[in-house]
Amino acid sequence: HFAPKKEQLLGGEKIVITAGPTRENIDPVRFFSNRSTGKMGYALAQAAKDLGADVTLISGPTNLTPPTGVTFVEVESAANMLDAVMNVFNDASVVIKSAAVADYHPKVTFGQKMKKKDGDLAIEMERTTDILKTLGQKKDGQLLVGFAAETEHVEEYAMKKLQTKNADLIVANNVSTEGAGFGGDTNIVTLFYKDGHHQDLPLLSKKDVSERIMNEVVNLLKERSK
């Protein structure tokens, strides 16, 4: 009995990874978005590819080049991302939601550029669909990995996300900590599991964090097939 080679650990697994911010248009020249750069999600796509997975990377607007050999789907809004994920969900064995999906979008998107008027402006926003929560309700054997971007009460909020979204693993980061979160090349994350335990990882490059997360995916898939 031989241990599988590294490049075969995820052989045959279809892994969907979402990355980057979403962009919610208010008119043809303006949008709402967030500070996500996509680095974490693209690093995860590379790490999954390196372990032999069949990877689909669904990404909001970033400046990054997708890893070679992954299927790349470019999206803009949270609604586009939901559609793209649902198109591939049934065939997927793992979905990793590292994208920073907008929670709200403008209730009305104007077809023409808004002209300024005297006085202040209030823009009415409505909730987007929670993609991960939707997947959690529909899942049929898929392993779901979510992220939690927090600035306080990380453990409490991350455990709550694990439960309400019916995820198998939540990767939490305190995005206000130096070295963690949006934009940089490093991250400090804690992995929260369904049985209530958690594992703190040290400050690592996003590449190393991705490899650790993919190792956990390998372990969780192994446990599942027991």
Which residues line the annotated binding site for CTP?
Answer: 103, 113, 147, 161, 165
| Contacts of the segment 75-79: beta carbons below 8 A, 24+ positions apart | 75/22, 76/22, 76/23, 76/25, 77/22, 77/23, 77/24, 77/25, 77/102, 77/105, 78/22, 78/24, 78/102, 78/105, 78/128, 78/129, 78/131, 79/105, 79/128, 79/129
Q: DSSP label at 21?
A: B
- Site for ligand CTP (CB under 6 A): which residue of 17, 161, 214, 218? 161
How many residues bind to ligand CTP according to rule CB under 6 A?
14
- Which residues, in sequence order, are bridge partners of residue 14? 54
Please report whether residue 99 would count as binding ligand CTP according to CB under 6 A: yes
Q: Which does residue 99 touch among Ca ion, ligand CTP, none (CB within 5 to 8 A, set by kind)?
A: ligand CTP
Please report whether residue 78 would count as binding ligand CTP according to CB under 6 A: yes
Please report whether residue 103 would count as binding ligand CTP according to CB under 6 A: yes
CB half-sphere exposure, 36, CA atoms < 13 A: 27
Q: 127 vs 138, which CB is nearer to Ca ion? A: 127
Q: 9 vs 132, which CB is nearer to ligand CTP? A: 132
Please report whether residue 97 would count as binding ligand CTP according to CB under 6 A: yes
- Site for Ca ion (CB under 5 A): which residue of 103, 156, 178, 185? 103
The phi, psi pair for 104, rounded to 5°, reads -135, 150
- Site for ligand CTP (CB under 6 A): which residue of 73, 148, 154, 169? 148
**Residues found in the chain:** 226
* Whether residue 34 lies in the annotated active site: yes
From the list 155, 22, 138, 147, the residue with the least C-alpha distance to 96 is 147
- Site for ligand CTP (CB under 6 A): which residue of 53, 132, 169, 191? 132
Please report whether residue 40 would count as binding ligand CTP according to CB under 6 A: no
Please report whether residue 180 would count as binding ligand CTP according to CB under 6 A: no
Choosing from 25, 34, 80, 166, which is the catalytic residue?
34
H helix count then E strand count, the chain: 5, 14
91 conformational bin, left if phi > 0, alpha if psi -120 to 50, beta if neither: alpha
- Show which residues are catalytic: 34
Binding site for ligand CTP (CB under 6 A): 78, 97, 99, 101, 103, 128, 130-132, 146-149, 161
